[in-house]
Chain A
Amino acid sequence: MTSPAHHLSLPIPRWAYAVALLALMVTWLVLQENGIALGHAAESLHEFFHDGRHALGVPCH
């Protein structure tokens, strides 16, 4: 340990895992959803974020 300074490491509460899961789900819905989870409703989501998906490098059709 060179310096005791600058610790950002914190205890992570249990609900943080719920937040992480939610964040992953949101990312999935915006970037990846092709109908696996939402079926037909996914199509409008997919179309709305179409430019964003392409621009962020996500495989598309």
Chain B
Amino acid sequence: MTTYTGVLLRGVGAGGIAGLLAGLFGLVVVEVPIRAALAVEEARPAVESGGHDHGEMFGRGTQMVGGVLGAVIVGLAIGALFATALAGSRRWFVGRPPFTRSVTLGAAVFGAAALLPAVKYPANPPAVGNQDTVDYRTMLYLGVIAAGLVVVYGSSYLASRLTHLAGPVRSTVVALAAIAGVAVILLAFPASPDPIPADMPSEVLWQFRLASLGETAILWLGLGVVFGLLTDPSVRQSTARAQALAA
């Protein structure tokens, strides 16, 4: 446990589990509005649809497998990054139990990398989105995520610099700074360039957006919880051993 390799393997394992849970949620829940959106797309005249036809290269079944597999692979990758960030952090909730640290970091990254972009640039199902603007939209989306992660990092840095303040005062100052940072991001980034097509039912759109947000929540919160469960006991044990040796 006391090696980086041990932490990394736990991170990858936790990410794989969280990714599988998220992928299965996607298969059962997110697929419903995706199917409805694809039906809208197929109902359009062929000339107008633009872009390329979904499901021509792969059947729907294969793409559904790809949806689960994609979530698992992304889970493994972010699990490795998550473990490295926690192992390397000297400021992040120092002195708190590893489980608390892990769940809190998972929640913070969910806020920055999933909830914030979902508020500013809500996820869209198939049949929404112009091929010509996809690069611009991708840039805005990644920019919001990067800015959100800067707010998370900045908040932990600020908290570590304000240790002379009383706990509640420090928490309030850090929370206000984080809220101000998020407000600046939401105001500074331009609106999404693509209008929602008139033939897309708003129920399908919102069902998809909520389901997609649910999947990312399972991915990030699941990663925080599972990684915390995997690391907490062994960190406590090695801490107890170190204290016994010191005594």
By a beta-carbon cutoff of 8 Å, the part of chain A in contact with chain B is 1-13, 16, 19-20, 22-24, 26-27, 30-32, 34, 43-44, 47-61
Contacts and interface: CB of A to CB of B under 8 A. Distances in A.
B201 interface: no
B130 interface: yes
Task: Sort A-B residue pairs by CB-CB distance and give the 3 closest, nearest first.
Answer: A52-B70, A51-B67, A57-B123
Nearest to B231: A8
Given A27-B77, A52-B23, A57 B213 contact: yes
Contacts, number: 176
Interface in B70-123: 70-71, 73-74, 76-78, 80-81, 84, 86-90, 94-98, 101, 114, 117-118, 121, 123
A49 B97 contact: no
A61 B95 contact: no
Contacts of B135: 34
Contacts of A8: 7, 86-87, 89, 98, 101, 231, 235
Chain B interface main SS type: helix
Contact of B87 (A9, A23, A47): A9
Interface of B: 2-4, 7-8, 22-23, 26, 30-31, 34, 51, 54, 57-58, 62-64, 66-71, 73-74, 76-78, 80-81, 84, 86-90, 94-98, 101, 114, 117-118, 121, 123-126, 129-131, 134-135, 137-138, 140-142, 208, 211-213, 215-216, 219, 231, 235-236, 239, 243
Nearest to B194: A59
B239 A7 contact: yes
Q: Give the interface centre of A4, A31, A51 by most chain B CB atoms within 10 Å.
A: A51
Nearest to B117: A57
A53 B70 contact: yes
B58 A48 contact: yes
A18 B194 CA distance: 37
Contacts of A11: 4
Nearest to A5: B239
Given A12-B4, A23-B78, A27-B77, A56 B216 contact: yes
Contacts of B34: 51, 54-55
